[in-house]
């Protein structure tokens, strides 16, 4: 073990995480270019969707100072990263696949504007259902929480998904499935994340 360097210890992002990672939300303008909750531009391929939700604490109260990031494949099911060797699927130069958002300080609602990802090949060639990887930090969270969001209208794929099937408590699998609704001309997937308690979301050690 002595040959390995230990990972730097995690610490909470604290209540003022916005200063560093989303200064506009903290209330000031400093960088010319800011990272955003919008993952698409006008050339991005795929079905436009909105992902919206709240993060809820153990008392049922929305967490109003949370910061979330998502990481996802493009519409063809390929990640924009050199380690993704799925050559038969095209890369989309107009899709990085990553975004960052903060909850509203009053309502606790957060939002991403993205595209619906295609299915990605998992371990041993088993297909994974379309999903979005999420990472959640806030005051009171000592180490970032990882989870996945799946889509309610992909029931057949979800039933075969190797990660959902790892969750031996079938009732808990539902905590990872976002519901689809049409709101005006937007397709919205609603995904509330429960940190603790009866409806607690499944979190992963990735």
Residues 45-104, interacting with another protein (CB under 8 A): 57-59, 61, 63, 65, 69, 71, 73, 79-88, 96-98
User: Measured at the alpha carbon of residue 51, what is the angle toward residues 49 and 56, in degrees to the nearest 5?
Assistant: 170
Q: Does residue number 187 form part of the binding site for another protein (CB under 8 A)?
A: no
One of 9, 42, 156, 170 touching another protein (CB under 8 A): 9
* Distance in angstroms (rounded) separating the CA atoms of residues 198 and 90: 42
Which of 97, 34, 100 lies closest to 66 in space, CA to CA?
100
Q: Does residue number 41 form part of the binding site for another protein (CB under 8 A)?
A: no
* Distance in angstroms (rounded) separating the CA atoms of residues 21 and 102: 9
One of 126, 155, 165, 179 touching another protein (CB under 8 A): 126
* Selected range binding another protein among 45-53, 126-134, 149-157, 183-191, rule: CB under 8 A: 126-134
* Distance in angstroms (rounded) separating the CA atoms of residues 93 and 86: 15
* Selected range binding another protein among 21-29, 40-48, 106-114, 183-191, rule: CB under 8 A: 21-29
- Residue 180 C-beta: closest distance to another protein, Å: 21
As given in the structure block, the two tokens for residue 193 are 């994340």
What SS3 state is found at 74?
Answer: coil
> Would you say 152 or 202 has its CB closer to another protein?
202
Q: Where in 135-174 is the site for another protein (CB under 8 A)?
A: 135, 137-146, 148, 163, 166-167, 172
As given in the structure block, the two tokens for residue 170 are 């079938």
Q: Does residue number 44 form part of the binding site for another protein (CB under 8 A)?
A: no
Q: Look at strands 67-71 and 131-137 and give their pairing.
A: antiparallel
């Amino acid at each position: 073990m002595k040959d390995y360097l230990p990972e730097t210890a995690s610490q909470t992002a604290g209540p003022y995480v916005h200063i560093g990672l989303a200064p506009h939300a903290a209330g000031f303008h400093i960088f010319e270019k800011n990272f955003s909750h919008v993952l698409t531009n006008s050339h991005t391929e795929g079905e436009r969707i909105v992902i919206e939700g709240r993060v809820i604490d153990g008392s049922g109260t929305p967490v109003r100072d949370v910061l979330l990031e998502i990481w996802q494949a493009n519409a063809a099911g390929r990640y924009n990263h050199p380690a993704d060797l799925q050559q038969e699927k095209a890369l989309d130069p107009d899709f990085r696949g990553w975004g960052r958002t903060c909850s509203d300080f009053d309502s606790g609602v957060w939002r991403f504007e993205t595209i619906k990802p295609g299915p990605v090949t998992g371990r041993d060639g088993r297909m994974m259902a379309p999903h979005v990887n999420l990472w959640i930090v806030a005051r009171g969270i000592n180490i970032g929480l990882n989870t996945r969001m799946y889509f309610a209208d992909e029931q057949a794929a979800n039933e075969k998904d190797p990660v959902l099937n790892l969750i031996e408590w079938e009732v808990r699998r539902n905590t990872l499935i976002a519901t689809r609704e049409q709101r005006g001309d937007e397709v919205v997937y609603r995904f509330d994340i429960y940190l603790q308690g009866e409806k607690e979301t499944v979190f992963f050690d990735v």
